[in-house]
Amino acid sequence: MSITREEPSTAGMDHGGGYLRGIGNVVGLELRQRLRSRGWFILLGIWFVLIGFVTLLSWSGANASREYSEVAGGSQPSSAGPMIFEIVVAFVLLFGLLVAPALSANAVNGDRSGGTLAILQVTLLTPGQILWGKFLASWIAALAFLVSSAPFLVIAVVLGGMTPGHILVSLGMLAVELAVVCGIGVGISGLANRPLFSIVVSYLTIAALVVGTVIAFALGVRLTQGTVLANEADYQQSQVYLPESGQVPSGPGYVCGGPLQEQRTVHTERVAWLLSLNPYVVVADAIPYPPRAGQSLGMAGVLGANGMLEGISQGARAALAGPAGTYPCAGGKVQASYLEQTTPMWPLGLVLQFLLAGGLMWLGWRALRTPSRKLARGTRIA
């Protein structure tokens, strides 16, 4: 036997390019299977039609209300672009959060129950390569949904008022959110024995992020009661809005006076991080909106007169700023009614979300290691 091949030790330890190639092979395997299943295309088609329908509805809805306000002689000749854009972004995120777990949460244990995971594990693939490959494949599959909804975001821009930057930022943030969801799904699928269980748990986790964080925040706020030093706000002496003068009031509509006193309030900043975990908050906060620092919106800004996404963003930032930044006359200062985008919340949210998804992926990775030491009861690994 004179023919020699590389030593197995070197052939097996070919790091760097080999590692990525292994991931690529897994991604290729996953995507090829996905592309050949009709279900995925049907889902993609339904998605496209649905987003299109939502876009059409919001467009015609905007038109109808504009016609009405023209007839009624209303004052707001606003373009429909921003609203369509916001509705489409919100829906794409909603559907993305609904679809991504389905694409990812059976990635590992589905293969395990099909007996194909062990086939990969006995090859030179490392657990990390398998996991990254599965994650990337599910993310790419989820991104296809995003790409198919991109035309409608473009339509929103064309209809006016928005810049291409909006599309890029929102698509980027939606893509990142899908990655977080896919990471959560793949991680859980590595941990749980049964695909059904891991899919349900993934959906519950997503629900916890979307709804649970808001509930937790609302309940948590009640535990943060405290005081803040503030003096009296006097709304009487503020400028009066006079339409005839054409002057837009620039202040928040009050002046501060009197001695500083302890005022009862809630310290929302202590639980605001909960809100930052919310995908809607992250996306809404990251999408730029035009500065409105000169305008006095009061609560209207929070409640969405400038659009739902901006409202979510401002509300979350108000919570993060806490009474020191929002309570009228806290510290004797007039508070800006508008919270600058220079104090964004989305980086905090992304870090927390990455920690969650990364932690689950790491646990999933542990469960994929071979030769495996621990094995859940009743599991067959092959």
Partner 1 sequence: MTAEFAGPVRELQNDDDGGGGGVVATGISRRFGTVKAVEHIDFIAPAGQVTALIGPNGAGKTTLLLILATLLAPDTGSVRIFGVDPSENAAAARLNIGWMPDTLGVWESLTAREILTLMGKLYRMPPKRITARVSELLDLVHLGELADQPARVFSRGQQQRLSLARALIHDPGVLMLDEPASGLDPGARIDLRNLLRRLAGEGKAIVVSSHVLSELDEIADGAVFVNHGRSVKQQTLTEAASQGRRYAVTARDMAALAGKLEQLGLVYRTGTGRRGSISLLLANEADAVRLLRELVITGVAVTSFAPAAGALEETYLTLEGEQR
Site residues, partner 1 (CB under 8 A): 1, 3-9, 11-14, 18, 21-22, 25, 28-29, 32-33, 36-37, 114-125, 370-373, 375, 377, 380-382
- Residue at 378: amino acid letter: G
CB of 42 to partner 1, least distance (A): 15
CB of 140 to partner 1, least distance (A): 17
Chain centre distance of CA 130: 26
Going through 56-95 in order, the beta strands assigned E by DSSP cover none
CB of 39 to partner 1, least distance (A): 11
CB of 137 to partner 1, least distance (A): 13
Residue 95 has phi, psi (to 5 degrees) of -65, -35
Cis peptide before 195 (omega within 30 of 0): no
Select 8 or 259, whichever has its Cβ closest to partner 1.
8
CB of 382 to partner 1, least distance (A): 5
What is the C-alpha to C-alpha distance for residues 38 and 42, in angstroms, rounded to an integer? 6
What is the C-alpha to C-alpha distance for residues 232 and 252, in angstroms, rounded to an integer? 14
Q: DSSP string spanning 166-223?
A: HHHHHHHHHHHHHHHHHHHHHHHHHH-SSHHHHHHHHHHHHHIIIIIHHHHHHHHHGG
Select 7 or 244, whichever has its Cβ closest to partner 1.
7
Contacts of residues 350-355 at CB distance under 8 Å and 24 or more positions apart, as own/partner, are 350/176, 350/282, 352/273, 352/276, 352/277, 353/177, 353/180, 353/209, 353/277, 353/279, 353/282, 354/180
Residue 251 has phi, psi (to 5 degrees) of -90, 180
CB of 111 to partner 1, least distance (A): 8
Select 127 or 344, whichever has its Cβ closest to partner 1.
127
CB of 379 to partner 1, least distance (A): 9
CB of 19 to partner 1, least distance (A): 11
| Residue (of 335, 315, 323) closest to 225 by Cα position | 323
| Residue (of 231, 229, 235) closest to 259 by Cα position | 231
What is the C-alpha to C-alpha distance for residues 31 and 29, in angstroms, rounded to an integer? 6
